[in-house]
Amino acid sequence: MSEEKRERPRMLERKIPEGAKPEVQIFPQRLLSADTTEKLLNELLERVEGIGRIVIHGPGLPKAVPFGPARGKPVKHPERRPIEVHGEKVPMKVQTGQIIVEIEDEDRLDDIVEEIEEICREILPCDFEVQVGRFTRHKPTVTDYLKFGEEGVKKLDKRLLGLVEPRARLADRVSVLKKGED
């Protein structure tokens, strides 16, 4: 196969709904370790201006065996440990399979994507894809109204919209880091 056929597209684009901020999705071809996740998040927060929020997706790392003969016994997974991001300890509850970075400054989107790709090339031990679009909710969902109520949704930090299922406790699923100027 020739070199030009093997070359994958640099970036895939998705439509961004009106009124929503663009997001950059980093999709590594392998699950990332806690160490790699920690390095990547710290580099993104240190070197890229204009990040609104970062969401990490991946398979859960349970505290206890959920079913079977060992049900309820503790799971000693080496990746389920706190990492330090932006000077704060964050518990790893998932193994990183996808990272979504919300961009505050749409005017610098192309430059920010270039910076993110450069950081990923430096840190990630595997191939990755970068996509631009909208991958998380930007408006309240029915689930948000069920969980927080109408008044609660009005008071809710907009960065938390659509992130938690109805029966889950927010504190068990989401870690919020304060920005440097807060």
For residue range 146-174, list pLDDT tens digits in order. 777 888 777 776 666 666 565 666 565 56
In angstroms, the CA 177 to CA 175 distance is 6
Average pLDDT taken over every residue of the chain: 82
Per-residue DSSP letter, 67:
S
In angstroms, the CA 34 to CA 81 distance is 8
Does 15 score more than 80 pLDDT? no
Q: What is the pLDDT of residue 138?
A: 74
Task: For the chain, state the CA radius of gyration.
Answer: 18
3-state secondary structure of 36: helix
| 60 strand-pairing partners | 94
Instruction: Sort strands 88-91 and 12-13 into parallel, antiparallel or unpaired.
Output: unpaired
Q: Which segment of 42-46, 86-90, 159-163 scores lowest on mean pLDDT?
A: 159-163
Per-residue DSSP letter, 50:
-
Instruction: Read off the amino acid at residue 73.
Output: K
Mean pLDDT over residues 76-91, rounded? 90
Residues near 52 by Cβ (< 8 Å), separated by ≥ 6?
21, 102, 103, 104, 159
> What token pair was written down for 144?
């948000």
Q: 98: closest CA among 27, 38, 43, 169?
A: 27
Does 6 score more than 50 pLDDT? no
Model pTM? 0.77
